[in-house]
Amino acid sequence: MPTRVLRLLALLQSRREWSGAELAERLGVTRRTVRRDIDRLRALDYPVVGTTGTAGGYRLTSGERLPPLQLTDDEAVAVAAGLVRASGGAAAGVAESSMRALAKLERMLPARLRPRLATLARTGTAVERGDPPPVDAGVMAVLAGCAHDREIVSFDYRDRHDRPSGRRVEPHGLVTVHGLWYLLAYDPDRADWRTFRVDRIDRPARTHRSCPPRQLPAPDAASYLRDSFASASYRYTARMAVRLPAETVRAGVFGPIPGEIREDGAAGCVVRLSAESPELVTQYVAVVAALGGEFTLDTCEEITSRLRGLGNRFAG
């Protein structure tokens, strides 16, 4: 699209209506040239409505088809930030659609905007409890683009013990669990699937090397992460033997837990909770205890000390 036509489109988007004379003056062309450029926009499915007479003019309306979208630099960066935020939404399909859109935007983004995207005011997904660590919109854009294009991505990574490493993986997709964003990927160096917290990823880079399709060992990415987290051991762990059926406990705990619930006979179950946060483990122990069944608890002194302050049920 010629530069003048892009300027015309920007003017039409900035105000409800323009006269032909105003547009001609702004663009430094004749009214006849304005009419010809308006016809070019209409040919590209931009719904430009014109009226005749001395008070006639042009305005951009909504149409039945989505025409090519033209964004300024500021608008492109703002859209990227909004897509990261929207990808944490609760509405069905919003997260997946947002990540697809972010991948497309990342592919088309001019090189001059990438530093701005990387240093954008940090943004994260909305969660039901607590404040998630901030995620970088630029990091999300590169990861989403590589996952969408099935392209190997390299990055620097800090694990939960803050140990740095360089990684080169085949990205499968981005998933949010417990308010945190994770990259699910196959690591050829370790010949296994791995998960990476996005807020711990730095300097992701496209390698322009395609990766082969791989069968995920789970129905979907979300199921894989839930199963992985349920069996993983973290710094703080609590094990509860509860005199309630497993289904009763599952129904009484809001949302996914940082651990697993296993049946233990017809009238009992074992709840295993594990996380890097002692507050999170304490919270879920208290939730399970509040369901009313008798229980025994095996955990560390720090969790026990926190629970004693919650009342007589944990005084023993």
Specify the amino acid at residue 121: A
What CA–CA distance (Å, rounded) separates 172 from 143? 9
141 in Cβ contact with 153 (< 8 Å) = no
pLDDT in tens, 148-168: 888 999 999 999 888 999 999
Mean model confidence pLDDT for the chain = 80
pLDDT(115) > 70 = no
How sure is the predictor about 234, in pLDDT bands with cuts at 50, 70 and 90? confident
Q: Which of 9, 8, 49 is nearest to 31 (CA)?
A: 8
**How many Cα atoms within 13 Å fall on the side-chain side of residue 30?**
3
Both structure tokens of 15: 């105000």
pLDDT of res. 175: 83
CATH 1.10.10.10 fits 1-60, yes or no: yes
pLDDT in tens, 239-262: 999 999 999 999 888 767 888 999
Q: CB of 159 within 8 A of CB of 165?
A: yes
| C-alpha to C-alpha distance for 246 and 201, rounded to whole angstroms | 37
CATH number of 137-218: 2.30.30
Residue 46: C-alpha distances to residues 9, 31, 66, 68, 146 (Å): 9, 19, 8, 8, 31
Domain boundaries, given as residue ranges, for the chain:
1-60, 73-123, 137-218, 232-315
114 or 253: which carries more pLDDT confidence? 253
Task: Specify the DSSP element, H or E, that contains 11.
Answer: helix 3-14
The span from the first CA to the last CA of the chain, in angstroms, equals 75
What pLDDT sits at residue 203? 94
Task: Using the predicted structure, report yes or no on whether residue 99 has a pLDDT greater than 50.
Answer: yes
- Residue 88: pLDDT band by 50, 70, 90 thresholds? low
Evaluate whether the domain defined by 232-315 bears CATH number 3.90.640.10.
no
Residues 6+ apart with CB under 8 A from 216: 172, 184, 193, 224
